[in-house]
């Protein structure tokens, strides 16, 4: 199936490929503490598995659903801890950050999408909940976790989907795309204000997740991506290889 938008590369990948395999020695996360939000399902769940395959020493699982987080935890071969908190909670998230202490990689995979509706027909409260979770949640995580980062090499990767598509292709998704566009700028400022940190927004592709299903999209009509593809790419991006993106 052809890409839904023009591809900027000669090869369009829908599944993991060898050059971003988390088992490559140069992508090793050995000795690293990795934090993953939204770790209980979807791309967040897949990302924890990829960092585990990369040899992460410890993975911190953050999300709202404790049962899902514990299921993810049972699948991991490395040390891990579960923190069932809402990323919008301005008291609970800093407490988690204090408990975790120094970390090396922060992966922002938590997200919320309202029921699709035009701006005119949207519920104001539900529309704003997308901003609360996607934008405010990212802000709280940044303010809470940035102080105790590894001062030598720390990476912040935020998944930010759908923002590359024009509005006409995404009817009813104004709250989600606007909030995720704002997240990109927040991550950009994080990088500018913290030069010792590598920070980037990553479009995860089109993956069959609960969020995608809520948009009403039929997965059979699009070239779906394996969840391991963005997960493995996040490992590559957060690795030392990412230093060349900083001019290193």
Check residue 218 and give its pLDDT: 83
pLDDT over 90 percentage in the chain: 72
Distances, alpha carbon 14 to alpha carbons 17, 206, 234, in Å: 9, 9, 15
Q: How confident is the model at residue 176 (pLDDT cuts 50, 70, 90)?
A: very high
Tokens in use for 77?
Answer: 């071969």
CATH architecture of 18-246: 3-Layer(aba) Sandwich (3.40)
3-state secondary structure of 199: strand
Residue 65 vs residue 147, higher pLDDT:
65
Which residues have CB under 8 Å from 103's CB, separation 6+? 33, 34, 35, 60, 145, 148, 149, 150, 154
Give the distance, in angstroms, between the CA of residue 129 and the centroid of all CA atoms in the same chain.
18
- How many beta carbons lie within 10 A of that of residue 151, not counting itself? 9
How many residues are there in the chain?
A: 248
> What are the extents of the domains in the chain?
18-246
3-state secondary structure of 102: coil
**Least reliable range by pLDDT among 7-11, 21-25, 121-125:** 7-11
Tokens in use for 188?
Answer: 């950009």
Check residue 240 and give its pLDDT: 62
Q: Is the pTM of this model over 0.85?
A: yes
Check residue 172 and give its pLDDT: 94
Nearest-angstrom CA–CA distance, 132 and 230: 24
Mean pLDDT of the chain: 90
pLDDT in tens, 75-134: 999 999 999 999 999 999 999 999 999 999 999 999 999 999 999 999 999 999 999 999
Q: Which residues of 13-38 are buried (b: 16+ CB within 10 A; e: fewer)?
A: eeebeeebbbebeebbbeebbbbbbb
Check residue 244 and give its pLDDT: 44
Nearest-angstrom CA–CA distance, 161 and 142: 19
- How many beta carbons lie within 10 A of that of residue 5, not counting itself? 10
């Amino acid at each position: 199936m052809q890409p839904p938008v023009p591809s900027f590369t000669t090869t369009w990948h829908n599944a993991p490929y060898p050059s971003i395999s988390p088992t490559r020695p140069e992508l090793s996360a050995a000795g690293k503490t990795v934090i993953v939000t939204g770790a209980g399902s979807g791309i967040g769940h897949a990302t924890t598995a990829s960092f585990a395959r990369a040899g992460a020493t410890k993975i911190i699982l953050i999300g709202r659903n404790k049962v899902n987080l514990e299921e993810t935890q049972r699948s991991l071969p490395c040390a891990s801890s579960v923190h069932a908190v809402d990323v919008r909670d301005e008291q609970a998230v800093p407490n988690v950050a204090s408990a975790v202490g120094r970390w090396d990689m922060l992966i922002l995979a938590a997200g919320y999408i309202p029921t699709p509706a035009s701006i005119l027909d949207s519920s104001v409260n539900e529309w704003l909940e997308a901003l609360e979770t996607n934008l405010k949640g990212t802000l709280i995580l940044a303010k809470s976790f940035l102080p105790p980062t590894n001062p030598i090499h720390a990476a912040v990767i935020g998944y930010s989907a759908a923002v590359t598509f024009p509005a006409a292709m995404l009817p009813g998704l104004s709250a989600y795309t606007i909030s995720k566009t704002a997240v990109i700028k927040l991550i950009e400022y994080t990088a500018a204000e913290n030069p010792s940190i590598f920070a980037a927004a990553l479009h995860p592709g089109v993956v069959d997740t609960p969020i995608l299903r809520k948009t009403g999209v039929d997965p059979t009509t699009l070239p779906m991506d394996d969840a391991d593809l963005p997960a493995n790419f996040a490992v590559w991006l957060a690795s030392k290889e990412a230093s060349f993106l900083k001019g290193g």
